Structure 1
Amino acid sequence: MADPGSGPGGVTALLHELGVPAFGIDLSPEMVAPAREAHPQLRFHTGSMMSLNVPSASLAEFHRTLRPGAPALLAFQTRHYYWRTAGRVIALLVEAGLALTATVGREPMGGESRAGTFILARRP
């Protein structure tokens, strides 16, 4: 399972601990380097979530790479430099053809300065 926008690798590591074979992809080499250092048993690659190199550039890429019925879980900090708000991410997912399953907000944790959001969507 790809963890696009994996940052320092925390979600990728959690997926691994839960028994999900996962690898991380992040646009920033400055995020990939500490992810590799903190989680040497996992794979992390520099790349864009907007152009996934897995078995065409927008959030439609998630739709393309998911099997019918497959879930996509997005975890991000609200008002992050690119995504900005949960509402905007939901709109992009729906526009890309994914069906919204659940949205959960959370307060900042572990020294974070921003609240976070989890969005579960599914390819119809």
Structure 2
Amino acid sequence: MTRILMVEDNEINRDVLGRRLVRRGYEVEYAVDGPSGVAAAASVRPDLILMDIGLGEMCGCEATRRIKANGETAHIPVIALTASAFETDRQNALNAGCIDFDTKPVDLPRLLEKIEKALAARNAA
């Protein structure tokens, strides 16, 4: 089963999106902030990470940079999720190491397509 780590500080967002992903056959693990997301990436070793960009003490971009700097987690694809749809936010996420970017509220079919594309690319590598 494909394991997704969702790094999201909003409990409602975690619950709603998490349940939707589980119904589609994914196993979902959760982290509530940047530091716990970095730690969970190393301990859980997910197939993919959904990273909220607007986190508290450590933003999602910094958490992604730390995940990508660790040789044991650098290969994990990260998709940024944010309520901000500005091009600068997208560029910042991509520059931090995210492979894709999506906005909230989540359009589930679009996000699922991005998840499957990222997983296919990872498996082909």
Which structure: greater strand fraction? 1
TM-score (normalised: structure 1): 0.45
Larger radius of gyration: 1
TM-score (normalised: structure 2): 0.45
Which structure: greater helix fraction? 2
